[in-house]
Chain A
Amino acid sequence: MKEYQKRYIDNIKQITALADIPGGVPSDAEPFLKERTAKRRQLAALVRENTELLRRELFPVLDDIISMPRDEIDELAEFAVSLTPGARQLDIFLNYTIHNALIVYARHWKLRDMLIRELYYAAMALFYQQSLIDIVARNRYRWSMRMLFGEAASYIKVYDDISDPEIRGFIHRSMGNLALGYTNDTEDSNRRKMDAIRQSLRILNDPVYHEKTPSLPWSTYIYKSHQERTTSLAFLRAGNTDPVSIREVMESAEYIWNRQLENSRRTGRPVSNRWHLTYHVAQYHCGIHTLSQLLTCMEEIYMQRDVTDFTLEGIYGSIFIPCMYAEYLSGNSLLREAKKEVLGHMYRMMLQYVRSVPADQISTSLIRNLMNVFETFIEYPDGIKQKDLLLQLVICRNPGTFLYLYMTACVSRMLTERVLKEEPAFLLGVLDCGSLEQVTASSDILTQFAYESGLFHDIGQLNFTQMTTMAARNWFREEKDLYQLHTRVGEIILARCESTRLYADTAAGHHRHYDGRGGYPAAYSREGKPNQPITDIVSLAAFFVRLLDNNVDYTREPLTLPQAMERVRQESGTRLAPALVRIFGGMETQLQEYLDGCKEEACRKASGLANTL
């Protein structure tokens, strides 16, 4: 690799180390904040350096990729691969950008083998990008993945002309991974996924191919195809009863189970929890187990998990099993009640596990599974509340975001108090307050509502933890677009549960401008939202706090209070509600007093909240 490429990767490693949070916020705020400031400075410097490295060294190459000498291309390919070591993704968007450029190069010079390899890698990069946003945009990259995997796999037609076994391997892997381009959401997609796997397995099991390329790890390929087929359990879990899917999933679960047993006998190591459970889940869907038996199996397997294992297997045990457990419970009211304590325990343990994950082990899989918790969360009236779990997760994994949320919440509360004094009519309609008398009588409730809306408005950021805490460089346009989906993620999560439902609209609309012309998401409408005044309050508070302490972009210099007040004034009538800006303009002294110790207060709050579940 070239020097700048090595440097870039070293910088990412440093960024990851700097972003490491020891699972929470200490009660002594001062050293924590000092360290945070110092780290952010270093992070900003590294981000700037990486951005400059790419701008100076890489982008000119990508601009003129066709005329690059072959050795430079090889170095570039090596650099791209090193951006995704093992199952980790140091910089998945850059990884895709480079592989995509290499595809252009390979196409131009008609380098078939290189093209096959790069198509595979680019498709894999898209798979990881897709994983980032699965909760909110299930198909954003899937058709592109299928396009790339499909093209690579189509070279099976000239298999005999390809002599390099590694390239033949990419063809088989692409064919197998074509299934990744489908979801289990719909019958049609699931059917196509099953078709793709069937086609792949047919070739993988064909002895003619084994004979042609004996050096390929055939059994691994076959095993992985069966693994992928078991993901259709999600399709069955959603209540679908397609007999072909059931049979094939069962077949794959059986295959994997047998291989696991065989492996366990050979190595003396226990069977993987994941595949153990998959086997039982498949049996349930085939009518062999009852739901009660399945839940018992899950509990047994859950108890065998390794809480120090942060690989996929560990994540599966500590995070995915509780999700699946909740999902199966959700359809059965009797069992849901009976298993309340078990599920509560699983949630607490999950939280502990997440607290203990080192930063360099945080992966898209971890985040995806974490979001799965909120997609399946069961909130009992007297049990753990989603709002509490959410806050705990933010505090332990992303305390910087907690500081920002807490400050936004406090400023929202202060502003609401002032609105109640100066222009209570602004809050008419909020929480069904139909008259000024009702607004005044509900002032405490309204103030608390504004505070909590501020606290949860940006909860969708959790989904983008990697992107926000470990950004290797300035974002690409694509990353910015994806990040903007955090409003929708927040809305989805908050709307699911009773304890957070009221804050969903604010999560959805806090980046949409008051005049409806700017910001995002474009589809957000103020119409028919009686609590919109609270969203307007939170939007202003959040905008103001970001000017003083941006929790996403470390490279942005914080403004002073007067500068921030001026910026707020400039946005009156466009981004922000003019009535609020006017009232806010009279709060400068109060804000100054608040800002003097706000971060310390936020740390104390975080420390106090931590470990309360």
Chain B
Amino acid sequence: MHNKEYAAKAWNSAALPVIVLEKNGGVYVPFYQNDAAAALCPCGFLTDCMPDKLAQAILSGRNLSGQDDASLFFHTETAVYYVVTFAWEDCRVCMLTDVSSYYKSHQKALNEAIMASQAKTSFLSEMSHDIRTPMGAIIGMTDIALMQEQIPPRVRECLNKIKVASGHLMSLLNEVLDMSRIESGRILIQEEDTDIADLLHEVLTVANPQAEAARLHFSVNLGRMAEERILADSVRLKQICLNLLSNAIKFTPEGGSVTMDLEITPADSRGRVHLKLQVKDTGIGMSPEFLQKVFVPFEREEKSTVNKIQGTGLGMAITKNLVDLMGGQITVASKVQEGTCFQVDIPFVPGQNDRDIYRNVLKGRHILLFDGDEAQSAGIIEMLRNVDLAVDWARNAEQTVDFINEMAFSDEEYFAMLTTERAEDVEMLLFLPQIRQRMGADFPIFLLSEHDWSQLEYVYTQAGVTSFIPLPLFSTRLCAGLYAYTREGQEEERQNSENQNQDFHGKRILLAEDNEINREIAMELLGMMNLQIDTVENGRLAVDRFRETSPDYYDMILMDIQMPVMNGLDAARAIRSLPCSDARDIPIVAMTANAFVEDVKNSMDAGMNAHIAKPLDMNQVYATLEMFLGKGNR
């Protein structure tokens, strides 16, 4: 129904100029404007007639704030219009109000207010950034200190407290920074193929310990997952989930419960699936008055229970803005002392679907499922049958043995077994070794568990479990797990592993970093990967060192951006322009806390190949090194 006719029906009668935009990739494009809008721009959509910055701000899909370079006002020869944008179903609407008389009478005051607001945002942004940089050093050094052996217990305790406190401070700073980015319109939604299973796993990795520490009952209910891969900004989507969950956990007293319901509905007529998320708690709830302001920045309800809880009052405002940016909607319902329920609905374009690849390979294979939970089993069986696998469902150990025996007498054989941790009639850690013995060493046995695999791995692999699939279960995870044990999957794995090499022995890196502590952290992390590292303290020295060494002496350059004498961007440009044979090819990787989209773009424009955010994350560093120094690149 989201077509031109539908929009016309809704907006044609509006006296104010209205444009309706639909999402297309990462941006919005107008597909309808009413007559009032057409009158202002007869040759096209009204955005075509607007100043570039205002038009770009509208097309980016964000709520206009007036705090970036784009004005909130659209000037024509005869009038001044106040521009607002808002979400309308999965589209966005841009509406213009004629404020000519008001504008003229208050222009000066308005301009001052806008400038003050911009100054505030800019100040917050810069302050946050300036504090974040040394915080990176504190967190990094604490991690390194904790990795040392034989730390006295008291020192370890102190280091752990520093880690927790600095982590908390960092998250507060991030929120302030996020809000200021949103207000200044510097957050862009970067859509990429996102696996919902991975995303949920990451969310739960953070939320589960929080809920456990708060002694809450935390449960996740998965509804229908029509698609498990979507085109989404996974970082921001995760942030939405975590903000809602953290909030629920923070404001629910011990013994209460927090539930998260997640569903991906089938594609609508426009081919969009909808992610429907509900976070419900039995916490302290909100008053009707505060409920009106819950999405307003820096608002915190004034009551004793809330005052004891740390926070900036920005979380929900950020969440609302992010949901808006994604073209979704967020609603909230709450009752004091009964709890709160947030509901989010965001449209997404479905992502890449591997189901057919799995189906082709797995089709017809026989799976033995051992799970005493009837409801859970029904979901698993449906998933397995969706990829044409045959399933025998054993509710207990007795039936498991019977199925194995029956299969042994037939002409078929089981391809794999899926089992949960608990059984009503047997001790699993005694039962599984028997299954392993019976079925042989190569038979895949998968453990389905909602617990952290690292906590279970030792005992369960000793008991004969081959691999682990986390609960709640996603079809892609399940199929990928099974696929890995097919001939095709193993061949793929073999090829992948041939391309991998975790040891960068013999590789030499030039590290340009002015801050001594940051240099030390980087040296420590990179040293663990057997790299040879030379360091310089600014961009100029980096250029000189590169020029002085023989061609191909360095395999890669890691470059800080903000350095005295010559910054990283200029240094990269200088290196690329050197006449040396490897100057154009040597990988230069930016290493900076400046993680804005435009910073990344600036780095690339300066001739760099990649960007690693500070504080350094081992996995990201490794992945980047692997990308440029891995076996396939030598």
Q: How far is the CB of A139 from chain B (nearest CB, A)?
A: 7
Q: Which of A107, A147, A154, A178 has the most CB of B within 10 A?
A: A147
Q: Dominant SS at the A interface?
A: helix
Pick from A107, A143, A178, A189: contact of B426, CB under 8 Å: A143
Cβ of A116 within 8 Å of any chain B Cβ, yes or no, is no
Task: Rank and list the top 7 A-B pairs by shortest CB-CB distance, nearest first.
Answer: A154-B408, A150-B405, A146-B401, A143-B401, A147-B401, A143-B397, A143-B398
Say yes or no: A192 contacts B434, CB within 8 Å: no
**Option from A104, A107, A154 in Cβ contact (under 8 Å) with B409:** A154
Tell whether, in the assembled complex, residue A151 and residue B438 are in contact, meaning their CB atoms are under 8 Å apart.
yes
- CB within 8 Å for A144 and B434 given contacts A150-B408, A151-B408, A157-B409: yes
Judge whether B149 is part of the interface by a CB distance below 8 angstroms.
no
Chain B residues in 8 Å Cβ range of A142: 398
Q: Which of B397-434 contact A (CB under 8 A)?
A: 397-398, 400-402, 404-405, 408-409, 411, 425-426, 431, 434
The answer to the question of A153 belonging to the interface, with a C-beta cut-off of 8 Å to chain B, is: yes
| Contact indicator A107/B425 (Cβ below 8 Å) | no
Most buried by B among A103, A154, A181, A189: A154
Task: Give complex CA distance A150, B399 in Å.
Answer: 13
List A contacts of B404 (CB < 8 A).
147, 150
Q: Is A84 an interface residue (CB 8 A)?
A: no
30 contacts between A and B (CB under 8 A): A103-B437, A107-B437, A142-B398, A143-B397, A143-B398, A143-B400, A143-B425, A143-B426, A144-B434, A146-B398, A146-B401, A146-B405, A147-B404, A147-B434, A147-B435, A150-B404, A150-B408, A151-B405, A151-B408, A151-B438, A153-B408, A153-B409, A154-B409, A156-B409, A157-B408, A157-B411, A178-B405, A181-B401, A189-B398, A199-B409
Q: Is the CB of B409 within 8 A of A147?
A: no
CB atoms of A139 and B425 under 8 A apart = yes
* Chain B residues whose C-beta falls within 8 Å of the C-beta of A189 in the assembled complex: 398
Within 116-171 of A, Cβ neighbours of B (below 8 Å) are at 139, 142-144, 146-147, 150-151, 153-154, 156-157
A143-B397, A143-B401, A146-B405 given. 19 additional CB < 8 A pairs?
A: A103-B437, A104-B437, A107-B437, A143-B431, A144-B434, A146-B398, A146-B401, A147-B401, A147-B405, A150-B404, A150-B408, A151-B405, A151-B438, A153-B408, A154-B409, A157-B408, A157-B409, A157-B411, A181-B401
> Please, how many angstroms separate the alpha-carbon atoms of A153 and B404 in the complex?
12
User: B409 → chain A, closest Cβ, in Å?
Assistant: 6
Distance to closest chain A CB from B403 (angstroms): 10
A314-328 residues with Cβ-Cβ distance < 8 A to B are none
A interface footprint on B363-405 (CB within 8 Å = 1, 0 otherwise): 0000000000000000000000000000000000110111011
Tell me if A146 and B408 are in contact (CB < 8 A).
no
Point out which of A103, A139, A143, A199 has the most chain B C-beta atoms below 10 A from its C-beta: A143
Q: Chain A residue with minimal CB distance to B434?
A: A147
Interface size on A, residues (CB 8 A): 20
> Once the chains are docked, how many angstroms separate the CA of A192 from the CA of B425?
17
Instruction: Report the minimal beta-carbon distance from A528 to chain B, rounded to whole angstroms.
Output: 25
A144-B431 Cα distance, complex, nearest whole Å: 8
User: How far does the alpha carbon of A189 sit from the alpha carbon of B425 in the complex, in Å?
Assistant: 14
In the bound complex, residues from chain B placing their C-beta under 8 Å from that of A192 are: 402
Which residues of B sit under 8 angstroms from A199, Cβ to Cβ?
Answer: 409
Residues of chain A in range 70-108 having any CB-CB distance to chain B below 8 Å:
103-104, 107
Residues of chain A having any CB pair with chain B under 8 Å = 103-104, 107, 139, 142-144, 146-147, 150-151, 153-154, 156-157, 178, 181, 189, 192, 199
In the complex, chain A residues whose CB is within 8 Å of the CB of B411 = 157
CB-nearest residue of chain B to A119: B438
For A143, list chain B residues within 8 Å (CB).
397-398, 400-401, 425-426, 431
- Measured CB to CB, the closest approach of chain A to B417, in angstroms, equals 13
- Interface size on B, as a range, is 10 to 19
With CB as the reference atom, state the residue of chain A lying closest to B425: A139
CB B74 to nearest CB in A, in angstroms, measures 76
Task: Give chain A nearest CB distance to B412 CB in angstroms.
Answer: 11
Distance of A338 from chain B, by nearest CB (Å): 41
A144 and B404 alpha carbons, distance in the complex (Å): 12
A154/B405 contact (C-beta < 8 A), A103-B437, A139-B425, A143-B426 known:
yes
What residue of chain B has the Cβ atom nearest to residue A107's Cβ? B437
Cα separation A216 to B408 with both chains bound (whole Å): 23
Complex formed: what's the CA distance from A192 to B406 in Å?
11
What separation, in Å, do the CA atoms of A151 and B408 have in the docked complex?
A: 7
Rounded to whole angstroms, the CA-CA distance of A460 and B412 in the bound complex is 47
Min CB distance A275 to B, Å, is 29
Select from chain B the residue with minimum beta-carbon distance to A203.
B409
- In the bound assembly, the distance between CA atoms of A154 and B410 in angstroms comes to 9
CB distance from A440 to the nearest CB of B (A): 47
Q: Interface readout for B49-64 with A: 1 if CB under 8 Å, 0 if not?
A: 0000000000000000
Bound Cα distance A157, B406 (Å) = 12
Bound complex: CA A142 to CA B397 (Å): 10
CA distance A103 to B402 in the complex (A): 21
Q: How far is the CB of B433 from chain A (nearest CB, A)?
A: 11
Q: Which residues of A contact B400 (CB under 8 A)?
A: 143
Contact B398 A153 (CB under 8 A): no
CB neighbors of A among B259-280 (8 A): none
**Interface contact B401-A150, CB-CB below 8 Å:** yes
In the assembled complex, the Cα of A390 lies from the Cα of B408 at a distance in Å of 47
**How far is B426's CA from A153's CA once the two chains are assembled, in angstroms?**
23
B442 to chain A, nearest CB (A): 13
- Contact status A153-B405, CB under 8 Å: yes
The docked-state distance in angstroms from the alpha carbon of A368 to that of B624 is 70
Q: Residues of A contacting B426 with CB < 8 Å? A: 143
- A139 to B398 CA separation, bound complex (whole angstroms): 9
B503 to chain A minimum Cβ distance, whole angstroms, is 34
Chain A nearest CB: distance from B431 CB in Å? 8
Nearest-neighbour CB distance to chain B for A484, whole angstroms, equals 15
Q: Who on chain A is nearest to B435 by CB?
A: A147
Which B residues touch A150, using CB under 8 A?
401, 404-405, 408
Q: Point out the residues of chain B lying under 8 angstroms from A103, CB to CB.
A: 437
- Least CB distance from A523 to B in Å reads 15
Within 8 A of A (CB), among B214-247: none
Report whether B409 and A146 are in contact in the complex, using a CB–CB cutoff of 8 Å: no
Distance of A59 Cα from B117 Cα, bound (Å): 81
Q: Report the minimal beta-carbon distance from A577 to chain B, rounded to whole angstroms.
A: 32
The answer for the CA separation of A153 and B407 in the assembled complex, in Å, is 12
Chain B residues near A139: list those with CB within 8 A.
398, 425
Q: Are A146 and B402 in contact (CB under 8 A)?
A: yes
Give B408's nearest chain A residue, CB to CB.
A154
Q: Which residues of the partner chain A approach B405 to less than 8 Å between Cβ atoms?
A: 146-147, 150-151, 153-154, 178
When distances are taken between beta carbons in the complex, the residues of chain A under 8 Å from B438 are: 147, 151
Instruction: Report B-chain residues with C-beta under 8 Å of the C-beta of A146.
Output: 398, 401-402, 405
Q: In the bound complex, what is the Cα–Cα distance between A150 and B406 (angstroms)?
A: 8
Cβ distance A566 to chain B, nearest Cβ, rounded Å: 38
Nearest A residue (CB) for B410: A157
Contacts of B409 in A (CB 8 A): 153-154, 156-157, 199
Give the docked Cα–Cα distance between A189 and B398 (Å): 9
Chain B residues in 8 Å Cβ range of A104: 437
**How far apart sit A144 and B435, CA to CA, in the bound complex (Å)?**
10
CA distance A387 to B431 in the complex (A): 40
**A101 vs chain B, min Cβ distance (A):** 12
Q: Report A-chain residues with C-beta under 8 Å of the C-beta of B431.
A: 143
In the complex formed, the residue of A with least CB distance to B404 is A150
Closest CB-CB distance, A299 to chain B, in whole Å?
39
